[in-house]
Amino acid sequence: MKEDKRMKKLAIISTIILGLATTSCDSYLDINQDPNSPTEENMNTSILLPAAEMGIAATYGNLLRIPAGYFAQHYSHMFGTSNYVDYSQFEMSPVRSGSAYSQINRVGLKNLQTIRNLAQENEEWGTYLAATTLRCFALQVLVDCYGSIPYSEALDISNPSPKYDDGAEVYAGLIQELDEALSKASPTDPVATNFLYQGDRASSWIKFANALKLKILSRESGAVNVDQQIGALIAQNNFPAADVAYTDCWSNETGQMNPYYSEEFSTAFGSTQINVTANMAIISTMLQKNSSGEVTYQDPRLEAFFDANSNGEYVGGVSGTNFSTSGNYKASYWCRPAMAYNSPVYLIQVAEIEFFIAEYYARQNNAAQAEAHYNAAIEASCASAGVSGADEVIAQFPYNQANYKQVIGISKWIALAGTNNFESWCEMRRLKYPAFGSQTGATLYNSTEDKLQPELYTPGTLYTPIAVFDKVGSNMVIQRWPYPQASTSSNSNAPKFDDSEYKVPPFWGK
């Protein structure tokens, strides 16, 4: 029953975001007109593109962010509530998995393909590039969640059971799609009404497409030899100079807020329940203390990423259990993610681009360039958070060519803790860092004495949740989501997903 109510609430949020949020830019989308079924005479790319964008933003910025925050141990579950205890135990069910899958396909990908068709017919190549870039972004997200997805047959509406293509094949197809769209667009080409760049022409979308190519190629770099392609992209040096994010399309009105804020922080829908708190792992990495309890290091981004508790302190909970509110740890004890109604939904950040470039140079054994871009990534992360002190972060986590995956993995995990938890979960699975330390959730929280023991935690490590999902087990993060029940029940070509599959990463993480 709780799950049904939550699903209904998410559906209401998604509908309102799609209808109302689009009115904040000159009211060009009639909220009484279903954006997925506009009348024939009104069908055009400027009607469909904002709706597709909001479908992706609502999914990526909320339905994917929340579970990934738990899987990355950025988040812990609020004591005394139960909504996300399964996530905190590294569990994802076929029912839970369906919301994001459905929203990306139903609102995002279907509208984007219609836009691509219209743009191609009318030779609107700037719009064609924008729609293709968002389509490839969404499809990569699905591969990163599920491994294999319908791709080569997915657009055939006469086929109710499209085959699931291997993730490596989808990735290769996405690069081809981006290259084809980039070959058609010129920097001065106009783009249909959109939220991401609004009045800008195709030049900004070209940079976004290049950044997405870099991410796709970098993510598959351990499984496919793509360094020549990455090197050519880096030499071209036409990446975004600012974070790619939805920033100016939110307002402090019901249904027009940042989707994660609307889901977890706003009381607009009548709920005052608090579910998400910070995790001990990220807090005790960003705020380190000696055995006497004295602070030896505080990350300057800590205050930008998390709110202090009622005592002005930063404390994090432990994954994997539903603590009682009758114990030592009331709701006011915990610090929470720092969110506002107009917080950005980040798609790709400058810091991520720099980390990917640093990793490329590290693989080429060019330690000087790798270190320069690693430092630039931390500087970009601090700039995005609006804080100074990047030098302190670099001194605490200096670049090390011999262990470049470890230092990049941990620093990226920290940098994404307050901005993009989903990408952090992906990179953890790929780089294998942060790694699991010697402590477990059961030792970090002494349930017999109802006592947290953060002094036992080793900064920059993960730990097995107190009660971990038995299909994942000890010293492992959940590697893939099960296929959505709605998809497997209707598609005879859906692959089998047995219990062992929870431990099998997408092709790029094997």
The 10 Å Cβ neighbour count of residue 105 is 20
- Confidence at residue 325, expressed as pLDDT on a 0 to 100 scale: 58
Residue 72 has pLDDT above 70, yes or no: yes
Residue 385 has pLDDT above 50, yes or no: yes
SS (H, E, C) 229-281: HHHHHHHHCCCCCCCEEECCCCCCCCCCCCHHHHHHCCCCCCCCCCCEEEEHH
- Confidence at residue 271, expressed as pLDDT on a 0 to 100 scale: 67
CA dihedral 368, 370, 373, 375 (to 10 degrees): -80
Q: What is the pLDDT of residues 413-439, one digit of tens each?
A: 999 999 999 999 999 999 999 999 999
Q: What is the pLDDT of residues 113-123, one digit of tens each?
A: 999 999 999 99
Give 475's pLDDT tier (boundaries 50, 70, 90). Answer: very high
Place of tokens 């719009």: 127
- Confidence at residue 490, expressed as pLDDT on a 0 to 100 scale: 83
Whether pTM > 0.85 for this model: the answer is: yes
Q: CA 490, CA 495: separation in Å to the nearest integer?
A: 12
Paired strand residues for 77: 276
Average pLDDT in the chain? 90
- Average confidence (pLDDT) over 276-295: 95
Indicate the range of 5-9, 65-69, 296-300 predicted with least confidence.
5-9
- Average confidence (pLDDT) over 180-195: 97
- Confidence at residue 381, expressed as pLDDT on a 0 to 100 scale: 98
